[in-house]
Structure 1
């Protein structure tokens, strides 16, 4: 008898993973691969994250506010947080990979917002695009940096910008306006930065830049003055109204001129004073070059009202100084009567006399002594018919008797005078009418 073999369980062969996989599964797999590839590409192309600290975050929004360089978007704000102590706002900005190597320690950042000032409206492009952060840096790759302090205003000096960097200091009557133009012959050639009070509080200071190629115009003999607003002066020479232009009248500005030719271009960082007007600026050229002012006294026989401190002293029509003091003098023993005479102290600038060589007060006195021997005298003359103001003129008198400048010891030298030439306003008007009446009108 034969044994029946046991039943053997037969199982179908197990398919491999790829044999069991459905074609439908390939689609999500490929989608996953593509997503990972895109994510990796995005990560590999992503630039570094930098932190910029600002005083406030007005207008800055995470995920929206852009970082721009030369009007091109090169980053975006990812986060906006407070600093420790809630004193400032820190914006985390993701940079583009291409520009990241150039953002080094020399980079500057500031927030651009619409602003209305006396100089006009700025930041108009933010009306449509919104507030953005503007950055500036040079074109050289430097050491990377991740933390920056943002500026409160647009910087005056930018990396790579060509120009002469100077500084301004206001005089007691001059003023400085933020972001005002620097004009020359009516053309803007520079810009004034933000004005600040000096540490001692005596004057205002501001940085400024003169754009190239205009930097060559600035020499040690250049003088700047304020052109904002207008000035009305009523002095010995009459009434004067002065303003530079309508634009500077509203928004302010500074202009300049070089009154004395010669001189090389100044170096960066040179400090200039801003004078209140052109006359003061022009006079400062001579005042600055003087070691000492020559003081000389004149006793006028004619005691005429109208001469004041500051009245001009002229020689051949050119101003050479100003009256420093006016007083009355009575000396019967000296003059033979008790009449009050006018004593004026003249402050003469030796540099304005056209002297050659070493210009000093002593040289100026020697020059005047020689001219007095030749007939020069001091006289009072009308400076303005409108105000009745007087001035002092140094004139040559024909056939004048021999006189000298008298100086006893260390006393002030005294210059001789001559007859005054003062025009009376009433007499002048009367003379005009007399001439009109004498015209032969009826004979015409």
Structure 2
């Protein structure tokens, strides 16, 4: 057995890197590059909030702007309270400028609306989300957007002006209805909502440029729609709007007649929405004096806005029907006095007719001593509408009670019953007088007279039916024939008539001969015994004697 000497191994430290690390290093570099490339190629991410996700599929539903694909939907989930849908999307790289804080998104799908049928192309390709870029160029704040069910009527980048309207009237003007100026469409209704707190309808209108210059401080907005038939002393007037306005309604605006346009307004200025065009003229009379009237007649047919006139000239407007305030309710019962009505006397209505200012309220208070009174009169026989008429009544001169010039904090105008009420009172008085007549006694006397008349008629019937009465016509006929023969005998040309004429002529001759004798006897009654004195012949007298 040989003995081999043992040697110890020596260890040495190497400065070279092992080639085995090349592969993981290269793999790491490729992974980092791919990760960077993935995030670098990604665009801006955003979030949409919707009521439902009908037709939206993650990874398939695209986002378009002007029919160009600019993004895609990545994820669709429910919110934490499960009441909304949260849609996460991404805008492609290079398209991030489209995403601003005021951008608008809506879903495009088949719909039937006022403009007809839209979105038919999505029946084959599926729904997609449309994007309109906004004007807000500030840094994107990543706040969620609301996904609309229908396209907006105007984009955030459209030039124009937006105004707000408030209305306490019944009826709703739908979104998309036309906004018109003198019949020409200049905008549309963007939103239509009901405010529960104020209990008013609130609208937002968009009026496109250049028509936004028509919206000034003095314009008034009113509702359009429906057929308007009005009757006036000038005749009947029928206004029929366009078919679009007739079906869905609309809003018009203009300045009241005779007013100027005024200064421009800023966006989102709030206006009042009036019922019709006629009522906007009343809105310009802001200077007025209130008067309180108490009527004994029924106020059925008298409504707020009815005119107050003096012999056909409008002086004011009925403000409230009926009118009650705390002093009234605290002093007496609501049924213990006449019906109170509050009116407004507006002197500006006379300024359109007469130059200069007139103290119309003071004049009314003064003229009540001379018989000026208020009465209810009918303005339309078909509708039964009433108005307040001021006029002078001569029988009421110096009968005004000055202690009643002011009641419950308002100046008052004394009233008289309406003409119809006066006629009704006279008719009732006539009927009362008729009821006081002794009709029973009169009817009894009439019945007795009627009974005697019947007895007389019976007697006459007996006489007529008698033989003497039946022979009477024959005797009358014979008498008439005899009288006719006699009359014929004395007619001109008959023998009797000629004989009568001859006898009359002879009678005249005899009278001519007897005339001197009668004159002599008249002068001396005894001339038949003693000779009558001779008379001298009459001598002619000279001229002038």
* TM-score, normalised with respect to structure 1: 0.62
Query: Partner residue of 1:227?
Result: 224
- Please state whether the residue corresponding to 2:173 is helix, strand or coil: coil
Query: Partner residue of 1:284?
Result: 283
Residue 377 of structure 1: CA displacement? 7.9
Query: Partner residue of 2:241?
Result: 244
Quick check: 1:109–1:134 contact (8 Å CA) kept in 2?
Answer: yes
Q: Cα distance 1:175–1:386, how it changes in 2: closer, same or farther (>3 A)?
A: same
Residues 283-334 of structure 1: per-residue CA shift (max 9 Å, x gap): 3343xx24643446799xxx9x9984235333575533345679xxxxxxxx
Query: Partner residue of 1:148?
Result: 144
Q: Cα distance 1:343–1:52, how it changes in 2: closer, same or farther (>3 A)?
A: closer
Residue 255 of structure 1: CA displacement? 1.7
Residues 14-68 of structure 1: per-residue CA shift (max 9 Å, x gap): xxxxxxxxxxxxxxxxxxxxxxx99999986553443333222112234443312
- Please state whether the residue corresponding to 1:249 is helix, strand or coil: helix
Q: Cα distance 1:88–1:377, how it changes in 2: closer, same or farther (>3 A)?
A: closer
- Please state whether the residue corresponding to 1:354 is helix, strand or coil: helix
Q: Does 1:314 align with 2:294?
A: no
- Give, in whole Å, the separation in 1 of the partners of 2:367 and 2:124: 75
Q: Does 1:90 align with 2:86?
A: yes
Structure 1 residues 246-255 or 110-119, which shifts more? 110-119
RMSD: 5.0
Quick check: 2:291–2:412 contact (8 Å CA) kept in 1?
Answer: no
Query: Partner residue of 2:477?
Result: none
Quick check: 2:345–2:361 contact (8 Å CA) kept in 1?
Answer: no
Contiguous gaps of at least 5 residues in structure 1: 1-36, 327-341, 357-361, 425-444
Quick check: 2:161–2:206 contact (8 Å CA) kept in 1?
Answer: yes
Q: Cα distance 1:419–1:225, how it changes in 2: closer, same or farther (>3 A)?
A: closer
Query: Partner residue of 1:106?
Result: 102
Structure 1 residues 372-381 or 382-391, which shifts more? 372-381
Q: Cα distance 1:94–1:38, how it changes in 2: closer, same or farther (>3 A)?
A: same
- Give, in whole Å, the separation in 1 of the partners of 2:252 and 2:169: 18
Residues 330-350 of structure 1: per-residue CA shift (max 9 Å, x gap): xxxxxxxxxxxx999672432
Q: Does 1:206 align with 2:207?
A: no
Quick check: 1:169–1:274 contact (8 Å CA) kept in 2?
Answer: yes
- Give, in whole Å, the separation in 2 of the partners of 1:92 and 1:251: 37
Query: Partner residue of 2:173?
Result: 176
Quick check: 2:48–2:147 contact (8 Å CA) kept in 1?
Answer: no
What is the 5 A alignment of 1:249-398? 249-259=246-256, 260-286=259-285, 289-290=286-287, 292-295=289-292, 308-310=301-303, 311-315=306-310, 317-322=312-317, 347-355=343-351, 363-368=359-364, 383-384=379-380, 386=382, 391-393=387-389
- Give, in whole Å, the separation in 1 of the partners of 2:321 and 2:49: 59
Quick check: 1:174–1:274 contact (8 Å CA) kept in 2?
Answer: no
- Give, in whole Å, the separation in 1 of the partners of 2:211 and 2:146: 30
Q: Which gives a bigger RCO, structure 1 or 2 (Cα 8 Å, sep 6+)? A: 1
* TM-score, normalised with respect to structure 2: 0.52
Structure whose CA Rg is larger: 2
- Please state whether the residue corresponding to 1:178 is helix, strand or coil: coil
Equivalent in 161, 166, 189 of residue 164 of structure 1:
161
Contiguous gaps of at least 5 residues in structure 2: 1-32, 323-337, 353-357, 424-545
* Number of aligned residue pairs: 361
Higher strand residue share: 1
- Give, in whole Å, the separation in 2 of the partners of 1:306 and 1:86: 57
- Give, in whole Å, the separation in 2 of the partners of 1:297 and 1:184: 42
- Please state whether the residue corresponding to 1:195 is helix, strand or coil: strand
- Give, in whole Å, the separation in 1 of the partners of 2:250 and 2:242: 10
What is the 5 A alignment of 1:175-194? 175-194=172-191
Quick check: 2:65–2:131 contact (8 Å CA) kept in 1?
Answer: yes
Higher helix residue share: 2
Q: Cα distance 1:185–1:113, how it changes in 2: closer, same or farther (>3 A)?
A: farther
What is the 5 A alignment of 1:9-28? none
Quick check: 1:220–1:263 contact (8 Å CA) kept in 2?
Answer: yes
Query: Partner residue of 2:131?
Result: 135
- Please state whether the residue corresponding to 1:347 is helix, strand or coil: strand
